[in-house]
Amino acid sequence: MEKAKHSIGHLRQVTESFQIWGDFVGAVPYGSGHINDTYQVTMRVAGTTVRYLLQRVNHAIFTRPDMVMDNILRVTAHLREKLAQDDDGDISRKALTVIPARDGKPYARDAEGNWWRLYLFVEAAQTYDVIRDERQAYEAARAFARFQNLLADLPAPRLHETIPAFHHTVRRLEALDAAAAADVCGRRAAVAAEIAFIDERRRQCARLLDRQSRGEIPERITHNDTKINNVMLDDATGEGVCVIDLDTVMPGLALYDFGDMVRSATASAKEDERDLSKVGCRINMFEALARGYLTDATFLLPSEVEELVFSGRLITMTIGIRFLTDYLSGDTYFRTSRPGQNLDRCRVQFAMVRSMEEQSDAMENIVRNVLKCRN
């Protein structure tokens, strides 16, 4: 188990600054996230054990936690309202519940200036860091599609951009070009092949943005971090219960969410695998994602469906560009545990792109067949 970064006394004090009842029993680190500090808090309320999820928001990454929490409050309130309209009897498991602080705000500040939030703990469900089988891929994709579908009619105003231009491939490319020109660590010569790989595909980088600017692809509310471990799966049924980690929920393209699912769920090897012969896109996992996503993503326009397969390649290349940029810049953003890890991560992403390119026709056929079955 991960070592706690905060003392029990500190965690107790923070927990008691929220509007909850009962006696504090304890708090232990929870989950595998690398951005925020997360704890499972146990309370005793009139003889019954109740658990909560306590998180310290990383304000170095999310520089406006107040805006993050404003987004989350609006999104979770809308989700609960929509679920109630559907007469769903399990709303507190299917949408996160923010517990307000004693002063009524959706967060509490400690003496060091840290930002904290508290959720109800979703019981009898768990997350997985690695997809075990096609059923999990299907359920995760369906849960993210349902999430987007429920938020499709969220009223104005527009959500805050908690990380501006997060999936903006053209700006990521501009950042890479700047890092390569500066070459502060003298690493550019070692990545000539990777830069050549990107140069061959530069014209693809603006494809979705250009279609959006022409009004062909709409802006939607998206999660923007659609890894398997951001969906809680029911312990008994295996169904997707609740989408979590809502810090990056903001305006974006639905295709970015599907593309990131393809990137993370179809990979046949770990993210920093050095043996690239092990790296590839698993077509069976793509089929499971397509079936799950298109089951509930009934809001998609034909123009969006046309780009589902391409979105996987684009987001995978975008993440590879980010890893390469960080490598050239001296590994200042992504956490590393060994020299060259960011370059290895970049090479894995680019190998995945090649694999997707080779299987593009088969993937397009899968989408068409899934749509035929749905209709």
pTM, rounded to two decimals: 0.93
Percent of the chain residues past pLDDT 70, beyond the cut:
98
Give me the mean pLDDT over the 221-226 stretch.
95
**Rounded to an integer, what distance in angstroms lies between the CA atom of residue 25 and that of residue 8?**
10
Greatest Cα-to-Cα distance within the chain, rounded to the nearest angstrom: 66
The yes-or-no verdict on residue 229 having pLDDT over 70 is yes
Length of the chain: 375
The yes-or-no verdict on residue 35 having pLDDT over 90 is no
The yes-or-no verdict on residue 80 having pLDDT over 80 is yes
Which pLDDT does position 3 carry in this prediction?
61
Which pLDDT does position 264 carry in this prediction?
92
- For residues 108, 112, 113, 114, the Cα torsion angle rounded to the nearest 10 degrees is -60
Which pLDDT does position 34 carry in this prediction?
67
CA-CA-CA-CA torsion sign (17, 21, 22, 27): negative
Cα angle 352-288-279, degrees, rounded to a multiple of 5: 20
The yes-or-no verdict on residue 284 having pLDDT over 50 is yes
The yes-or-no verdict on residue 89 having pLDDT over 90 is no
Domains in the chain (CATH in brackets) are: 8-122 (3.30.200.20), 134-374 (3.90.1200.10)
- Two structure tokens written together for 228: 């398997």
**What does the mean pLDDT of the chain come to?**
95
Which pLDDT does position 216 carry in this prediction?
98
Given pLDDT bands bounded at 50, 70 and 90, which one contains residue 110? very high
